Amino acid sequence: MTVNAQSKLASRYGAADISPPMPWNETIDQLLDHRSVRAFTDQPLPDGTIETLVAAAQSASTSSNLQVWSVVAVQDGDRKARLLAMAGNKAYIRQAPLFFVWLADLSRVTRVAEQQGVELEAVPYLESLLLGTIDAALAAQNAVVALESLGLGSVYIGAIRNDIEGVAKELGLPPQVYPVFGLCVGYPSTERPAQVKPRLPQGAVLHHETYSAAADVEAVAEYDERLGAFYQREGMKASGWSEQVVSRLRSVSNLHGREELVEELKRMGFGMR
């Protein structure tokens, strides 16, 4: 394993003692260098960038080739400001030159079936909603890998789900389409460079043959220490992961409206059976 590979693994896991030796190439190197970017320059994106990223997104796997996802590319400043207000007032939504809203889209297959005089009995089931959600996520992550290869940065905006009906109205979404998440895209600011955030040790997430939680206590304790040290270096509150998990999930109020998703999705044409 090269020195560069060891360095990238150390950044990702917060430790330099990664073993065993691992295969490595430029693609893996880029993947491990991923970080969320929350400060962007005002440099415009080159012509064709959106189309390139969507081509990468459409090259992702899709269940049964149904392609039950879509994406809205938002560049208008006023529209970004309105979306920002519905998504937790994340300032980088306005700052980024491009804001993608990734959609689970069952409306297209429904229209195709209607043209043939066929009713799609499987569409109202949760499985179909999952298909669209997973397809959208796979497509978006392909776009992220592509944009990072072009020197761009991004950050996902899950807060777009705080008000999915409001977002749907703003974007003119038909029934059976919902916004899964947003994605800010732009050139990273050098004044506030983003850093690679350590992840859980592999022992916490990797299971061989069968699932075992035996390593959780040690792995989480180790991660609490590493993540706290990372935050301290970044000038942030040195809280561990355990504290963050409990703080984020202990109260329904922390869902910021997303506790109403089931009822909202039903009103938006999803059967949820």
Q: Transcribe 5-65 into DSSP letters.
A: HHHHHHHHHT-S---S-----HHHHHHHT--B---B-SPPPPTTHHHHHHHHHHTS--GGG
Q: Which helix (H) or strand (E) covers residue 153, if one does?
A: strand 153-157
State the average pLDDT over residues 117-138.
Answer: 98
With contact defined as beta carbons under 8 Å apart, do 126 and 273 qualify?
yes
Q: How crowded is residue 117: how many other Cβ atoms within 10 Å of its Cβ?
A: 6
193 vs 93: which has the higher pLDDT: 93
pLDDT value of residue 215: 86
pLDDT value of residue 236: 82
Distance (Å, rounded) from C-alpha 112 to C-alpha 151? 38
Of all residues in the chain, the percent with pLDDT exceeding 70 is 97
63 vs 21: which has the higher pLDDT: 63
* Poorest-pLDDT segment among 7-16, 139-148, 197-206: 7-16
Distance (Å, rounded) from C-alpha 199 to C-alpha 32? 11
Where do the structural domains in the chain lie, given as residue ranges?
1-33, 49-192, 196-255
With contact defined as beta carbons under 8 Å apart, do 93 and 99 qualify?
yes
Q: Which residues are 105's β-sheet partners?
A: 177
Please determine, for residue 20, whether its predicted confidence score (pLDDT) is greater than 70. no
- Assign residue 90 a region (left: φ > 0; alpha: ψ between -120 and 50; beta: otherwise): beta
pLDDT value of residue 247: 93
Among all chains, which residue has been given the structure tokens 């700052």?
95
Sign of the CA dihedral running 136, 141, 146, 152? positive
Per-residue pLDDT band for 192 (boundaries 50, 70, 90) equals confident
Q: Give the full edge-to-edge strand order of the sheet including 69-74.
A: 69-74, 98-105, 177-186, 153-157
State the average pLDDT over residues 176-190.
Answer: 98
List all residues 6 or more positions away from 52 whose beta carbon is below 8 Å from its beta carbon: 146, 150
With contact defined as beta carbons under 8 Å apart, do 168 and 178 qualify?
yes
**Strand 98-105 versus strand 69-74 pairing type:** antiparallel
Q: Yes or no: is domain 49-192 CATH 3.40.1710.10?
A: no
**What is the rounded average pLDDT for all residues in the chain?**
95
* CA neighbor of 139 nearest in space, from 72, 58, 63, 67: 58
* CA neighbor of 26 nearest in space, from 148, 183, 179: 148
Distance (Å, rounded) from C-alpha 117 to C-alpha 111? 10
Per-residue pLDDT band for 1 (boundaries 50, 70, 90) equals low
Q: Which amino acid is at 254?
A: N
* CA neighbor of 32 nearest in space, from 199, 185, 158: 199
With contact defined as beta carbons under 8 Å apart, do 61 and 86 qualify?
no
pLDDT value of residue 92: 96
Helix, coil or strand: residue 104: strand
Of all residues in the chain, the percent with pLDDT exceeding 90 is 88
- Structure confidence by residue, pLDDT tens digits, 71-89: 999 999 999 999 999 999 9
* Poorest-pLDDT segment among 71-80, 104-113, 161-170, 188-197: 188-197
State the average pLDDT over residues 53-70.
Answer: 99
pLDDT value of residue 2: 80
pLDDT value of residue 14: 77
Cis peptide leading into 46, omega within 30 of 0?
no
